[in-house]
Amino acid sequence: MLLLDGKATAQTVREELKKIIATAISAGRRPPGLAVILAGEDPASQVYVRNKEFACTHVGIYVETCRLPESVTEAEVVRCIDRFNQRSDIDGILVQLPLPKHIRPSICLLAIDPAKDVDGFHPENAGKLTLGLPGLRPCTPQGIIELLRRYGLSPRGKKAVVVGRSNIVGKPLAILLAEPLEYANATVTLCHSETCNLANECRQADFLFLAVGKPRFFTASMVREGSVVIDVGINRTPAGLCGDADFEGLKDHVSAITPVPGGIGPMTVAMLLKNTVDAWQGRTSASLKKETEISS
C-alpha cells in the first residue's frame, strides 16, 4: 500500500512557492498579500486561521487578518472586504467560514473581487470551473488533483466515485475530475445522502473520494480491492482526528490511501498559498502591462 503523504507533498509545494516569491522580491517586486477576515469566536476557525497565517509567513506572503466580533453586522463585513478589494498590496481575500449565524456567507463571498477570490468560491470562479475556463479553483479539490499528480496516479479513463456534494469539496471535485486534463479525464459518479446502494457505487470505484464527515464510515466491504482512496473527511473523536475511511481496515486492501491527519488538509493550505501566488502574479503582470502601455 502506498501512503499518499499530503504533509510532505505540501511542504515541497511550499518550498517551491517560497523560491518563486524570493526570486521576485530580489528583482524588486512587492511580496504577495493575503487578507483574512475572521468574524466571531469559533475555536476551530481560530486554529485554522493561525495555521494559514503561519504557512503564509513561512513562504514570504504578507498576511493581514481582520478579526471582527461575533456581533459584527453583515454590512460591516462587506465594508471590510471592500477595503481589501481596493488595496493594491492585497492579492487574495479569504473569509473564514463558518460566519456568525446572522451573516449570509453568499453575500460576503459575492463581495470579494473575483480576481482576489483565493478560496475559489465566488460564483464567477465557480462558473469558470464549470466551463473549463482559467480562474481560481477551490483549494481542497485542487489539492487532491495536485497530490495525485505528484504521485503519478492519474484517474484518466478510470471510474472515479466522489461521495459528498458540497459546494466546497464534492461538487467542484467531481467537475475537475471530469475535465479533459492529464490528472483528471475520469468517468465520474457523484454520490450523496440520497444515493441508493452507496456501498455498491463505491465498490465500482478505481478512485474513491470521501467527503461526508462521518468517522470511519467507509469500511473494506464498501471499497474495491486495489483502489485508490482519497479521504477528505476530518472528524474529531474522543480518540483524536480521523477521516471518513476506516484506515486500519483499508490499509492492506487498497493500493494507495491518504492518512488523516497529514493527507488532504495540508494540501488544502498549500493550494491557498498557490492561489495567492497565482493571483499576485496575475495582478502584478497585469499592472506591469498597464504601465508599459501607458509609457509606450
Looking at the annotation, which residues are catalytic? 52, 96, 119
Task: Tell me which of 122, 137, 150, 165 binds ligand NDP, using CB under 6 A.
Answer: 165
Strands 159-163 and 187-191: parallel
Contact between 268 and 293 (Cβ < 8 Å) = no
With H, G, I as helix, E, B as strand and everything else as coil, classify residue 34.
strand
Ordered DSSP codes for 190-247: EE-TT-TTHHHHHHT-SEEEE-S--TT-B-GGGS-TT-EEEE---EEETTEEE-SB-H
Task: Tell me which of 160, 163, 254, 271 binds ligand NDP, using CB under 6 A.
Answer: 163
Task: Tell me which of 138, 265, 275, 280 binds ligand NDP, using CB under 6 A.
Answer: 265
Strands 235-237 and 240-242: antiparallel
In angstroms, give the least distance from the CB of 111 to ligand NDP.
Answer: 21
CB-nearer residue toward ligand NDP: 81 or 222: 222
| Residue 188 interacting with ligand NDP (CB under 6 A) | no
Piece of 21-29, 77-85, 93-101, 164-172 that binds ligand NDP (CB under 6 A): 164-172
In angstroms, give the least distance from the CB of 159 to ligand NDP.
Answer: 17
In angstroms, give the least distance from the CB of 164 to ligand NDP.
Answer: 4
In angstroms, give the least distance from the CB of 289 to ligand NDP.
Answer: 35
Integer Cα distance of 209 and 222 in angstroms: 12
In angstroms, give the least distance from the CB of 126 to ligand NDP.
Answer: 15
| Residue 166 interacting with ligand NDP (CB under 6 A) | yes
Integer Cα distance of 264 and 167 in angstroms: 17
CA atoms within a 13 Å half-sphere pointing along the CA-CB vector of 236 = 1
Task: Tell me which of 222, 264, 270, 277 binds ligand NDP, using CB under 6 A.
Answer: 264
In angstroms, give the least distance from the CB of 170 to ligand NDP.
Answer: 6
Integer Cα distance of 25 and 193 in angstroms: 49
Piece of 9-17, 28-36, 96-104, 168-176 that binds ligand NDP (CB under 6 A): 168-176
Which of these, 13, 280, 234, 38, lies nearest to 143 by C-alpha position? Answer: 13
- H-only helix segments in the chain: 6-26, 43-59, 74-86, 105-111, 123-131, 139-150, 170-178, 198-203, 247-250, 264-295
Task: Tell me which of 26, 86, 106, 193 binds ligand NDP, using CB under 6 A.
Answer: 193
Task: Tell me which of 213, 249, 262, 282 binds ligand NDP, using CB under 6 A.
Answer: 213
The contact mask relative to ligand NDP for 121-160 (x = CB under 6 A, - = no) is -------------------x--------------------
Ordered DSSP codes for 253-279: TSSEE--SSSSHHHHHHHHHHHHHHHH
**Binding footprint of ligand NDP on the chain (CB under 6 A):** 140, 163-166, 168-170, 191-195, 198, 211-214, 232-235, 264-265, 268
